[in-house]
Amino acid sequence: MAAQKKGLGRGLDALLDPYSISLDEKESEKAGVLTVSVREIDTNSLQPRKQFDEDSLSDLATSIKVHGIVQPLIVKKKNNRYLIIAGERRFRAARMAGLNEVPVLVADYDEAQIHEVSLIENIQREDLNPIEEAAAIRFLMKQHDMTQEEVAARLGKSRPVIANALRLLQLPESVIDLLRDGSLSAGHGRALAGLSDETTIEQLAQECLKNGYSVRTLEERIKHLNDRKKTPAKKEKIVLSDELRDIEETFREALGTKVTLSGTNKRGKITIEYFNREDLERVYEKIFGKN
């Protein structure tokens, strides 16, 4: 089958599907797959993934020893060397497996396309930590002047997913570090990103670590804090002076009903209660002296 380079508007699959081929010798020749020495290949310094899990690489290396590399690396030729566009994890595992040569497919991408393909390949296919993924999305948007809707379409994700990922980068640096090293999950980060006060965010992050909060528990904790903020604090009741208490009692005796004073000697209010129409008329007559 002939490999055809596709545009960058349909996500990673549109870019890499033609290259997802079995390394049957004849098919490899038709697809333009080359076998290149690992010493002639350079990694991409703009690779968004900065950490590679050694256990995962070891498992892949074991598989490569048995089955070889099923899918070639995508590279760009630069002078007499090759720059990895997609497949750095496979490249590292191949070296770990002791391979001297790896299959590659040379793509004629410009620098902008190299950046985009590398980012998309990592975001869609690599196990990036939440901060690496968010940083890659932000770089993709800035480097290629994309909106959230556009980058969502490229990655096959919804716009809210993209927005929530980017919000993680607004968290305090101490919390970002916890997401980066896996102490907190992306779910924890999204819950904390809904808060605005940095001190509260950092305190809750530490609570999560100390108490082993699940994402659901953290969300309930945040809801409880928000509910407390919404409930207005009760005003402290002013204690009446002895003089006002005496006056309050005098009113009660004179009117024959419950009378409540609130306030101070300078300002306040009197509340007179009645319990039916006849009681109201009786209190009225007491006050105005009518029979």
Active site residues: 88
CA 33 vs. chain centroid, Å, equals 39
State the Cα–Cα distance between residues 251 and 95, nearest whole angstrom.
96
Distances (CA, A) of 43 to 14, 52, 81, 119, 284: 23, 13, 11, 13, 94
State the Cα–Cα distance between residues 254 and 269, nearest whole angstrom.
17
State the Cα–Cα distance between residues 247 and 228, nearest whole angstrom.
38
Which contacts (CB < 8 Å, 24+ apart) does range 241-250 have?
241/265, 244/268
Residues 94 and 39: beta-carbon distance below 8 Å: no
Q: Write the CB contacts of 51 (distance below 8 Å, at least 6 apart in sequence).
A: 129, 132
Amino acid at 160: P
State the Cα–Cα distance between residues 147 and 152, nearest whole angstrom.
8
Distances (CA, A) of 61 to 141, 181, 231: 33, 24, 58
DSSP letter at 79 equals T
Number of H helices, E strands in the chain: 14, 7
Going along the chain, which residue ranges are E strands?
A: 33-37, 41-42, 73-78, 81-86, 101-106, 259-263, 268-272
